[in-house]
Amino acid sequence: MPNTLLTDDVIAKEALMILENNLVFAKNVSRKYEQTFEGERKVGDTINVKKPSQYLVRSGAAASIQDNVQQTIPVVVDSQKGIDVEFTSKELSLDLQDFSKEVLAPQMAMLANEIDFDGLALYKKVPNLVQASLADFDTYLKAGAALDEEGCPMDDQRCLLLSPRAQVSVVNGLKGLFQSSVQIKDQYEKGRMGTAAGFDFMMSQNIPTHQVGAYIGTPLVNATLTSGAVSVVTDGWTGTVANLLREGDVVTFAGCFAVNPMNKNSTGQLRQFVITAAVGSTAGAATLTIFPAMISTGATQNVSALPADNAPIVVLGTASASFGANLAFHKDAFTLVTVDLPLPKGMDMAARASSKKAGLSIRLVRGYDINSDKFISRLDVLYGWKAIRPELACRIQG
């Protein structure tokens, strides 16, 4: 009875299960905003997600009333991805096991990779960066410290994703640090890692490569900045360069130190800022658009002081060099929202499978072409990625 097994509900549920099993990055990010998008949605739908409020602690008995400033971040469901195929009646005579192995498994593997790849592009929103040897345990301790200094929760929800090449360095250089005998066994047999330095180490084939801008010169701040600045006028670059800095490059400003968000004390480390839009230089001058905003006072203070006019600027990374954007992050740094797509009428098959636990939804639609005796099938997902709290992540460039 092979045909009776391939119902629309069964195919959709099987596809969802395989998709979930193939995800890496998406399984380790926050999904707590899924319920806000419940029900059928269309591409472009938006919700505003609240960020935790920040406050100043007073000293003494006298009250110091503060405004409750609630920050929100828009999450847009803007990515519809799918895979479309056609089958003859003969091909559909497979039972579920064969159909899952021969048809659904390769489809869902490719779809999962696409979803993860889209999400990992969010590395360009992450300002924190560690530059060190991938084979050095100290590198991952520094990444953990970068998260700690941003007030990151100290729990078991920190992950570290490495490219396949980076994994080679880690497994070879740190093989004695993963103490579980099962984990050590996996290193030799599968090239997989375990838990160390407060992170669950994982490999992803979808780690992007970042190319640093072709900057040259001795850049300086060329402005008097005010608290809340998100752009910085600069000079001192050499000549006219089209790709002076690229989106995702990281810079520091002399005298502008990071502060701990809880106690507002300097961490002793220069605050790192990520470039949010590509920058070109004309006759040595350029305006940098940065994240986070430079805030020097108040409950949301994140720098010890604003950089002075003529403060030197340092770009992290060799000009025009390319690096893997390996990523250490807490679950709450990023979110993925997938939503239900509408089911069309009058089709041979139309079904949707959703999992609140996994935070995933996939739709199957199949139509029949009587002239060719073929069934045209499509599987679709609709989702949106967002860096909710990118300060709770750190790139590792080695």
> Quick one: pLDDT at residue 114?
94
| pLDDT, tens only, 360-385 | 889 999 898 888 888 888 999 999 99
Strand pairing partners for 329? Answer: 159, 393
Pair 284, 222: CB distance under 8 Å: no
Residue 190: is its pLDDT beyond 50? Answer: no
Model pLDDT for residues 19-41, shown as the tens digit of each residue: 888 898 998 998 776 666 666 66
How far is it, in rounded angstroms, from Cα 66 to Cα 342? Answer: 45
Indicate the pTM of the whole model.
Answer: 0.86
pLDDT computed for residue 177 by the predictor: 63
| Backbone phi, psi, residue 322, to 5° | -115, 140
- Which of the pair, 260 or 50, is modelled with greater confidence? 260
* Among candidate residues 244, 277, 273, the one with its CA nearest the CA of residue 256: 273
Token duo for residue 167: 């994994």
Q: Report the pLDDT value the prediction gives residue 4, as an integer from 0 to 100.
A: 41
pLDDT 10s digits, 79-119: 999 998 887 766 666 666 777 788 888 989 999 999 999 99
What's the CA gap between 195 and 156, in Å, rounded? 10
With 90 as the cut, is the pLDDT of residue 285 above it?
yes
What is the Rg, in whole angstroms, of the alpha carbon atoms belonging to the chain?
24
Nearest of 198, 202, 229, 397 to residue 311 by alpha carbon: 229
- Average pLDDT, whole number, for the chain? 85
Q: Alpha-carbon distance 263 to 197, whole Å?
A: 24
Phi, psi of 259 (to 5 degrees): -120, 150
What architecture is the 213-320 domain classified under in CATH? Beta Barrel (2.40)
Count of all residues that appear for the chain in the document: 398
Q: Is 281 helix (H, G, I), strand (E, B) or coil?
A: strand
Nearest to 251 by CA among 285, 213, 281, 224: 213
Residue 371 neighbours by CB under 8 Å, 6+ apart: none
Number of H helices, E strands in the chain: 6, 25
pLDDT 10s digits, 239-258? 788 899 999 999 999 999 99
Q: Which CATH number fits domain 129-210+325-332: 1.10.12, 3.30.420, 1.20.120, 3.30.2320?
A: 3.30.2320
Give the whole-angstrom CA distance, residue 291 versus residue 279.
14
**Tokens encoding 280:** 């070109």
Three-state SS at 251: strand
Side-chain half-sphere exposure of 206, counting CA atoms within 13 A: 20
- Note the pLDDT of residue 54: 64
Please choose, from the candidates 195, 199, 211, the residue with its C-alpha nearest in 3D space to the C-alpha of residue 325: 211
Check whether 224 has a pLDDT greater than 60: yes
Mean pLDDT confidence for 194-205: 86
Give pLDDT tens digits for 311-338: 999 999 999 999 999 999 999 999 998 8
Contact 154, 241 (CB under 8 A): no
Q: What is the structure's pLDDT at 192?
A: 52
Mean pLDDT of 62-76: 74
